[in-house]
Amino acid sequence: MSIMNIASTATSAALPRGVRLDQDHGADAVFVETSAARAVLHLDGAHLTSWVPSGESDLLWLSPESEFGHGAAIRGGIPLIGPWFGPGRDGTRSVKHGWLRTSRWDLVSAQPDGDDIVLELTSTKDTATLTATAVFRIGAELSVDLTLTAGEEALELEAALHTYLAVGDVRRIAIEGLENAEYLDNTRGLAPDVLGDEPLRLTGSTDRIVDAHGEVTIVDESASRRLVSTPRGTAKTVVWNPWDELVTGMADLPDSSWPEFVCVEPAVAKDRFVSLAPGASHTLGVTYRIEH
């Protein structure tokens, strides 16, 4: 029996100090509050919506117009994308970005490790095709690892960690670590292009699938901080913001909200999908830290 089932039918005695189960926006969530950090993790989608290390403001941005609960795709935080990206490699998938972010997950483990809390969740949906495990290490740094295992048949896997990073003003950030990389521009029908040799600065609607898998730093001039993303098991870095050009067509985003975030996503997608043999696994992960 999962910890979530134990807690809902009896008590939260199986949870360590600093971890509790409660409701957030009317939906079941795990709350972490320790000397190192505070966090909120929704069981629908295994969706982390907040991580606040001690002495800092939230790394993550969450839309005030987002939906929550069973079947909802939360707008903000860290959506887990897969087993396909966007409409899929052939463009025919009717459910955008796959089912991981809208299915129910079970909390199977919550353990202290020094000053950190480590949460492990498993998805209960579509286990014949794919099994999924997500591990969140919450402390002075944040680590997320998503492991996807093919079922009885081979799987051409696409996945991403679609992180919404909170920034003071997206027009005043610089993204370091993507210089001179090739990319596909999804605002121009996936047209191929190459980034320049300076840090990337956004000037309009941006949806770029960049052929880069190293550490990325978002220099947030307005908030006087640096957000460092260190990925693993990745092949691409997706950079997205709708700008004022596209935000008006998105019901779960206030029209004035687009300057408040940037999505910088570790991914295996498009031509850099992962081919999994039956029973084989792939782990996509990232660690975040805030610097000044």
- Report, as residue numbers or ranges, the catalytic residues: 162, 265
3-state secondary structure (DSSP) of residue 272: helix
Strand order in the sheet with 47-53: 19-24, 27-33, 37-42, 47-53
3-state secondary structure (DSSP) of residue 266: strand
Whether omega before 83 lies within 30 degrees of 0, making that bond cis, reads yes
3-state secondary structure (DSSP) of residue 9: helix
C-alpha span between 284 and 232 (Å, rounded)? 6
For residue 147, what are the β-bridge partners? 133, 283
Q: What angle do CA 202, 222, 52 make, to 5 degrees?
A: 100
Tokens representing 146 are 């998503």
φ and ψ at residue 87, rounded to 5 degrees: -90, 15
236-241/159-161 β-pairing: unpaired
Tokens representing 102 are 């809208």
